[in-house]
A and B are shown apart, each in its own frame.
Chain A
Amino acid sequence: MNVLTDNFSTFGDGFLGTVELTVYASLLALVLGFLMASFRVAPVGSFRAFGTVWVAVLRNTPLTLLFFAVLLGLPRFGLVLPFKVFAVLALGCYTSAFICEALRSGINTVPKGQGEAARSLGMSFGQTLSMVVLPQAFRSVIAPVGSNLIALAKNSAIAGAFSVTELLGTYKTLNELGYNIIWTFVWIALGYLIITLAISAVFNILEKRWGVAR
């Protein structure tokens, strides 16, 4: 029990680190996922190809490998950033591939006639997508997008292996200090639960509010 009370600031720093990684990487993943989903349904072939390659590469690369590629690879090309930023990049880009596919499956649930009606009124591709198709697609993808962000929160643990301060990494410090490893992990698990349950709660509210008001 005193693992927690003795080391509240260590746990707190780790917890906040994970929250920070999760929030920034989620925002990046949502923005990129939205962009890539738009690319994948665009009328221009080269956009579609770019979206397809993006998803294929990022979704099929193990996340740890991606972390290595970003943290060790990018500095070789002269791009040197704090490790935390690199971690957000790796996590965000990786998850964006999954968000993209969730959004795209949502787009496919919207009847084709909705887009045709919008286009026949003279709306552009961008207007059709953003005002007619996506608002309807979002309703059916709230749950899978939530799952992807929960997965992101847990995946952020990998960043600890690259000396980014986050929740799971705190066990190394505490283990060296001789604390009971079982209790250390119990408190760490509880920390993750708080984050993932918070994400679930947000998405439950979104689903109640927006999920299919037909």
Chain B
Amino acid sequence: MAVDPLIELRDVNKYYGELHVLQDINLTVGKGEVVVVIGPSGSGKSTLCRTINRLETIQSGEIRLDGQPLPDEGKALARLRAEVGMVFQSFNLFAHKTVLQNVSLAQTKVRGRRKDEADQRSRELLERVGLATQAEKYPAQLSGGQQQRVAIARALAMDPKALLFDEPTSALDPEMINEVLEVMQQLARDGMTMVVVTHEMGFARSAANRVVFMSDGRVVEDRTPEDFFTHPESERARDFLSKILKH
């Protein structure tokens, strides 16, 4: 796809001590593209996702967002993080704040919106993820699926250029996975740029423009879902798919 690149990783390497968790990663995500990252546990896919907004630092290589290299710590980095939303496996809603406050907090403190403006925007987004009636509750009063949808609304409230999803459905009961995936499907259809680390092969097939398969810290395959699922090139990917698609 010859679209404008939004996220670019060039020769990225990361170590945890001796462990080489990301090895010469090259990856480009275009504007409006949905890239699903899959792979076995410990393959580095979550770490990859977290390097893009520098929750994890890298030892060498370069990461660019919308053409700008990722800044070091400080104000510039904070500004950039506001442009890249992140949704976590464990939701990470602020436990001491209501649903509405969760979605509004960074809008007022980072984007500088007035409180009533921010709350109005929050309510619109909560409506969009189907939780308008839960605005005054605390996160602990919601189900996992509801919490994750609030987390998506919270990320969207910053009007990000891209969203990163780090295994967004892995901590959910099976019956709650779909309500979260549906929201994500809708975002994909609306043209949001997304990097999604997941084990949900159905989502990868239906929503992804590309599937990136990682193993042992390397990108092994980077292709369309159709190609990947029907004709995986590498032995490692064939082995992985045979294990998860058996049932």
Query: At the interface, yes or no: B81 with Cβ under 8 Å from chain A?
Result: yes
Closest A residue by C-beta to B154: A121
Interface size class of B (residues with CB under 8 A): 20 to 34
Please encode chain B, from 108 to 144, with 1 for each CB lying within 8 Å of some chain A CB and 0 for all others: 0110000000000000000000000000001010000
Interface size class of A (residues with CB under 8 A): 20 to 34
A124 near B75 (CB under 8 angstroms)?
yes
Query: At the interface, yes or no: A156 with Cβ under 8 Å from chain B?
Result: no
A121 near B88 (CB under 8 angstroms)?
no
**Given A43-B73, A117-B88, A131-B105, residue A123 in contact with residue B95 (CB < 8 A):** no
Cβ-Cβ contact count across A and B, 8 Å cutoff:
72
Complex CA distance for A136 and B138, rounded to whole angstroms: 14
B140 near A214 (CB under 8 angstroms)?
yes
Complex CA distance for A214 and B105, rounded to whole angstroms: 19
Please encode chain A, from 199 to 214, with 1 for each CB lying within 8 Å of some chain B CB and 0 for all others: 0000000000000011
**Given A114-B94, A135-B96, A214-B95, residue A120 in contact with residue B109 (CB < 8 A):** no
Complex CA distance for A214 and B140, rounded to whole angstroms: 7
Complex CA distance for A118 and B85, rounded to whole angstroms: 11
User: Which residues from B are CB-within-8-Å of A117?
Assistant: 86, 88, 92-94, 151, 154
User: Which residues from A are CB-within-8-Å of B88?
Assistant: 113, 116-117
| Partner of B138 from A121, A132, A135, A214 at Cβ < 8 Å | A214
Sample (27) of A-B pairs whose CB atoms are under 8 Å apart: A111-B90, A111-B92, A114-B92, A116-B55, A116-B86, A117-B93, A118-B106, A119-B55, A119-B78, A120-B85, A120-B86, A121-B81, A121-B82, A121-B155, A122-B79, A122-B80, A122-B81, A122-B82, A122-B110, A123-B78, A123-B109, A127-B109, A127-B110, A131-B109, A132-B94, A136-B95, A136-B96
